[in-house]
Amino acid sequence: MTTKSDGGPAFPVWELNGDGQPEMTCFGISVRDYFAAKAMQGWLSSYGPDDQHPANNGSCDFVAAQAYAMADAMLAERNKS
């Protein structure tokens, strides 16, 4: 079974530990979740007032799945370089 990479933390917080060494104390959301949120935000904001918005027509699960598909594609492209 393969596991998808989440890209690591998107907004980690670093603090100095007792030895004065930097230590990640808060991981924040994953890069995958951040990419998916941005993809979904862009897609949903493109609907005009006369369009059937996914939040009103019952297709939210489809939009969420597509947002994560876009995030996975973005991570795959990011990992090529």
DSSP 81: -
The distance in angstroms from the start CA to the end CA of the chain is: 25
* Sequential pLDDT tens for the chain (81 residues): 456 789 989 998 999 999 999 999 998 999 999 999 999 999 888 888 888 878 778 788 999 999 999 999 999 999 897
3-state secondary structure of 39: helix
Per-residue pLDDT, 56: 78
Give the side-chain half-sphere CA count within 13 A for 15.
5
- Look at residues 63, 13, 54 and name the one whose alpha carbon lies nearest to residue 36: 63
Domain boundaries, the chain: 30-80
- The β-bridge partners of 22 are 16
- Look at residues 76, 10, 17 and name the one whose alpha carbon lies nearest to residue 38: 10
